[in-house]
Amino acid sequence: MKTLLLGLLFAIFSSVASAHEMRPSVASLSVDSQGTLTLELVTNMEAWIANIDPSLSDTDDSPNAGHYDQLRALGTNALVEAIKKGERDITQAIEVLAGGGRVGMSLIAIEVLPVDDINLPRDTRLTLGGRLPDGVSSLVYRVHEMLPNTAVRLFLENADPVVQFVRSGRTSDALLLDQAVQRSVGALVAEYVVLGFTHIIPKGLDHIIFILGLALISKRFIDLLIQVTAFTVAHSVTLALGLYGVLRLPASVVEPLIAASIVYIAVENIWHHRVNISRTLIVFCFGLLHGLGFAGVLTELGLPERDFLVGLLAFNGGVEIGQLSVILVAYLSVGIWAIRFPWYRERVAVPISAIIGLVGVYWFVERVAG
């Protein structure tokens, strides 16, 4: 059982460390008083051209992974030309529906966005334009089944943006063009709770591994509760400060430090038998770093100005639900029956911590070198 468990974890963590992550897209729609519609779609165009199934968490799992890697190796201008060539015409997959029909849209601009780390997925911003039919009061946005889950944002003149998280192959709820109509707080809370949860499960694999590291030597539930509380308070603070623009650090700094935090927790698990006060303080400091990572994601998606605090709290709540889910699964699958035995530390906690540490080292080197 021990060998099987460690082998499975090593295989999972190794694939995670080298994964080509499939991230959500962001579609920003703006409508002016004349009915002119502008769409900015930020998505992974290499994955689209290579026909990568968006349900995969790792592009290496696709039979088209080789083609994807060839596209990733292209320079910016070469990728733009590949998009224009239309091996797979994405403009045919973009559907904005209004007035009972599809809104005709034309491609205006293509911009390949820079990345801090060449090992991270590269996004492209496509700008399209069209005109809404006269008299329409709403529109809907459909996410093509071969495009990833998408955060759809509607911007109107003199109004807060409306945000919906639309899954692949699904259609958004009606996006109302009447500025006097406000979206319910309940709907906004539900959307941002989902965004926060999915940022942990399945997208936040580095955060998942960090939380698992905290759980490994927490033999008493109170020890784990204290650590998770410290982590939660800390990342809530920097998440808020990051979103309010008070504290900002580039991803090229934050991401390697998050990897370093994983290494530290793994090493401490190997050398220490129990949780102490100094560990709790360190976990709090690392929570500050992870909060900046959360802020980067939520900044990309945007928050409505009028309901900024509600959206922030809902997103943070979704993150906490995701973290608690990780802890619950860990305890039900291993901790609830193994942690009470004297061999738990030697056969479970230390070997798994070593694997976690190696993954953290790999991520750190990869992110610094990138």
Q: What is the pLDDT of residues 128-158, one digit of tens each?
A: 999 999 889 899 999 999 998 898 988 887 6
| Predicted confidence (pLDDT) at residue 338 exceeds the cutoff of 90 | no
Instruction: Give alpha helix (H) positions in 140-220.
Output: 185-200, 205-216
The structural domains of the chain, with segments of one domain joined by +, span 25-183, 197-369
Highest mean pLDDT among 2-6, 108-112, 327-331: 108-112
Distances (CA, A) of 338 to 127, 176, 193: 54, 53, 33
Phi–psi pair at 25, nearest 5 degrees? -90, 165
**Per-residue confidence at 367, pLDDT binned at 50, 70, 90?**
confident
Q: What is the pTM of this model?
A: 0.60
Phi–psi pair at 37, nearest 5 degrees? -105, 130
Distances (CA, A) of 195 to 53, 164, 207, 286: 21, 10, 15, 22
Q: Which of 229-233, 249-253, 343-347 has the lowest mean pLDDT?
A: 249-253
Q: What is the pLDDT of residues 16-26, one digit of tens each?
A: 333 356 778 99
Q: Which residues of 334-353 are buried (b: 16+ CB within 10 A; e: fewer)?
A: bbeebbeeeebbebbbbbbb
Task: Report the Cα 106 to chain-centroid distance in Å.
Answer: 29
Q: Which of 167-171, 299-303, 346-350 has the lowest mean pLDDT?
A: 299-303
Q: What is the pLDDT of residues 79-126, one digit of tens each?
A: 999 998 877 888 889 999 998 899 999 999 999 988 765 667 789 999
Q: With the C-alpha atoms ordered 339, 343, 346, 352, is the resulting torsion angle positive or negative?
A: negative
Q: What is the pLDDT of residues 248-294, one digit of tens each?
A: 777 778 888 888 999 999 998 898 877 777 788 888 988 888 888 77
Write out the two tokens for 277.
């006060």
Residue with tokens 């460690």: 6
DSSP 8-class letter at 171: B
Q: Which of 218, 230, 219, 197 is nearest to 340 (CA)?
A: 219
**Per-residue confidence at 161, pLDDT binned at 50, 70, 90?**
confident
